[in-house]
Structure 1
Amino acid sequence: MPSSDRRESAATAAHTSTAATGQSGGVQSLERAFDLLERMADAGGEVGLSELSGSSGLPLPTIHRLMRTLVACGYVRQHPNRRYALGPRLIRLGESSSRLLGTWARPYLARLVEETGETANMALLDGDEVVYVAQVPSRHSMRMFTEVGRRVLPHSTGVGKALLAGSPPDDVRAVLARTGMPAATERTITTPEDFLAALEHVREVGYAMDDNEQELGVRCIAVSVPDSPTAAAISISGPAGRVTEAATDKFVPLMHEVAEQLSKALASTGSGGG
């Protein structure tokens, strides 16, 4: 289920139920607190109580009580202007979650390496940046290597395009305005209009390509992981002489298959399955 649908479902349950527990049998106050944290993240990490009340449908006294608890725990902080921001304790949780996500992804990336011969990566969208959370290297002596934890801007990478392809154009423009569009190579896309056109092409063909845009001589193919708990993409990268148009036609169906398998594995893990 998309995150927006999950939030609406949680908000509806929280607003209509007056019992001590939510409709799913969980603790209602926890459901409400996590819903507020997600809404804060969607709003850019800083909001006022009235904004949260308007988006969640919860009364102001309830939101104030929940936010006071989250502040006391360090997951939210209150600014002098009385607006609330996501707190530093969430960073440790996010870093641990990213490491686990990378660990779960490695067997699927290993299959990509086995069948394509090229380096496979997994990346997440963290704020306005792309962060690599997992990699399985190619066995070729000439191969691509990206450090796990490396952060890059989305406009010059295949994974960045795959991650942003489903976003509204205004949201994409806002990201580009905040990050800028520096040229990593002479092939890097450096205008919002050209980048939006590239995203339209991604939606048409079902995959993203970095063609010498991050590093000359290197091509990268990327696809998004459907229904991921956080925006995620997988990619393969290698020398342009090996990652050819013919190779792309062969690799893309495999990448979609692996992305679907990874999506199911993450959903199973999140629901307590094996």
Structure 2
Amino acid sequence: MPTSSASTTDAAKSNGGGVQSLERAFDLLERMADAGGEVGLSELSASSGLPLPTIHRLMRTLVACGYVRQQANRRYALGPRLIRLGESAARLLGTWARPYLARLVEETGETANMALLDGDEIVYVAQVPSKHSMRMFTEVGRRVLPHSTGVGKALLANTPDDEVRALLSRTGMPAATDRTITTPEGFLAALQDVRRDGYAVDDNEQEMGVRCLAVSVPNSPTAAAISISGPAGRVTEAATDKIVPVLQQVAVELSEALASSGPVAQI
């Protein structure tokens, strides 16, 4: 008996050997995320280049699976079922990053962290503590606002100014210390420094007596940054010159590991 060809279109393979309809569905989810989580079909069609009937069919499937929900205004929003996937992926990302953070601790002597931008907030997903008796500690899962952190500056450095201003308007810029940047202009100037220097600094801005150095993880599947933090008396300007190249090299190696199709290599 001949095999049915009813699903030939849906199961059409892309040039890379994958299933085209799956690739398209995930692409639409990412486009929705880039647009703030809620879009109309015409917007998706314009940005993806796919015809409306194709998008409608894919979205109907995603809605049925709970990964997308249709709003009362007939626009589509990312669905709650994605939360579980995202939380699990974030935990795994932190697990994969730990060997690289451990190397940072070995080479710099200071506590190493990994953080993601989740909506308008920074969330710490992994940490390896320093071996010094006086060391910094940030609880994994802790959420902070970006304007007072090195990782926040590293993550937002290449975001358009108008988007940064909109984020700061939503979150406000409360002062954690008397060194915290509390104006959009001051924060945008700090982001210019990050782009120029290739790393971000939190100089007593989140907590007095603590300095943090951070870099973004290039080409990460999701926006991520790694950092070291320690007492200002140890993380001095002279120490910065030695620490930053290590941070940048580890960020590149972590990026390559995350981009590989196989397991993340252990260092």
With the shorter chain as reference, the TM-score category is over 0.9
State the alpha-carbon separation in 2 of the partners of residues 19 and 70 from structure 1: 16
Aligned partner of 2:228 in structure 1 is 236
Q: Does 1:218 align with 2:210?
A: yes
Q: Does 1:259 align with 2:251?
A: yes
Aligned partner of 1:9 in structure 2 is none
Q: Alignment partner of 2:91: what SS?
A: helix
Aligned partner of 2:56 in structure 1 is 64
**Per-residue deviation, 1:59:** 1.1
**Per-residue deviation, 1:61:** 1.1
**Per-residue deviation, 1:121:** 0.2
**Per-residue deviation, 1:140:** 1.2
Matched letter for residue 88 of structure 2: S
Q: Alignment partner of 1:254: what SS?
A: helix
State the alpha-carbon separation in 2 of the partners of residues 224 and 109 from structure 1: 14
Matched letter for residue 103 of structure 2: R
Q: Does 1:208 align with 2:207?
A: no
Q: Does 1:272 align with 2:238?
A: no
Alignment of 1:140-151 (within 5 A): 140-151=132-143
State the alpha-carbon separation in 2 of the partners of residues 166 and 109 from structure 1: 23
Q: Mark the structure with the bigger radius of gyration.
A: 2
Percent of aligned pairs with the same amino acid: 85
Aligned partner of 2:237 in structure 1 is 245
Matched letter for residue 80 of structure 2: P
The answer to whether the 8 A contact 2:10-2:21 is kept is no
**Per-residue deviation, 1:179:** 1.1
Q: Alignment partner of 1:111: what SS?
A: helix
Q: Alignment partner of 2:218: what SS?
A: coil
State the alpha-carbon separation in 1 of the partners of residues 122 and 11 from structure 2: 41
Q: Alignment partner of 1:233: what SS?
A: strand
State the alpha-carbon separation in 2 of the partners of residues 260 and 22 from structure 1: 29
What runs of 5+ residues in structure 2 fail to find an aligned partner?
A: 1-8
Matched letter for residue 222 of structure 1: A
Root-mean-square deviation (CA, aligned residues, Å) is: 1.3
Query: Which of 147, 153, 156 is matched with 1:164 structurally?
Result: 156
State the alpha-carbon separation in 2 of the partners of residues 88 and 19 from structure 1: 26
Matched letter for residue 67 of structure 1: M
What runs of 5+ residues in structure 1 fail to find an aligned partner?
A: 1-16
**Per-residue deviation, 1:273:** 5.4
Q: Alignment partner of 1:24: what SS?
A: coil
State the alpha-carbon separation in 1 of the partners of residues 11 and 58 from structure 2: 16
Query: Which of 135, 138, 157 is matched with 2:127 structurally?
Result: 135
Aligned partner of 1:175 in structure 2 is 167
Aligned partner of 1:107 in structure 2 is 99
Query: Which of 19, 26, 31 is matched with 1:27 structurally?
Result: 19
**Per-residue deviation, 1:156:** 0.4
Q: Does 1:75 align with 2:88?
A: no
**Per-residue deviation, 1:18:** 9.6
The answer to whether the 8 A contact 2:39-2:75 is kept is yes
The answer to whether the 8 A contact 2:111-2:136 is kept is yes
Query: Which of 71, 91, 97 is matched with 2:89 structurally?
Result: 97
State the alpha-carbon separation in 1 of the partners of residues 263 and 136 from structure 2: 34
Aligned partner of 1:36 in structure 2 is 28
Aligned partner of 1:8 in structure 2 is none
Runs of 4+ in 1 over 3 A off after TM superposition: none
**Per-residue deviation, 1:53:** 0.8
Report the number of matched residues.
256
The answer to whether the 8 A contact 2:154-2:199 is kept is yes
TM-score under structure 1 normalisation? 0.91
Give deviations 1:236-266, integer Å, cap 9, x for gaps. 0011111110111110011111111111111
Q: Alignment partner of 1:124: what SS?
A: strand
**Per-residue deviation, 1:272:** 2.9
Give deviations 1:142-175, integer Å, cap 9, x for gaps. 1110011111111000000000001111111111
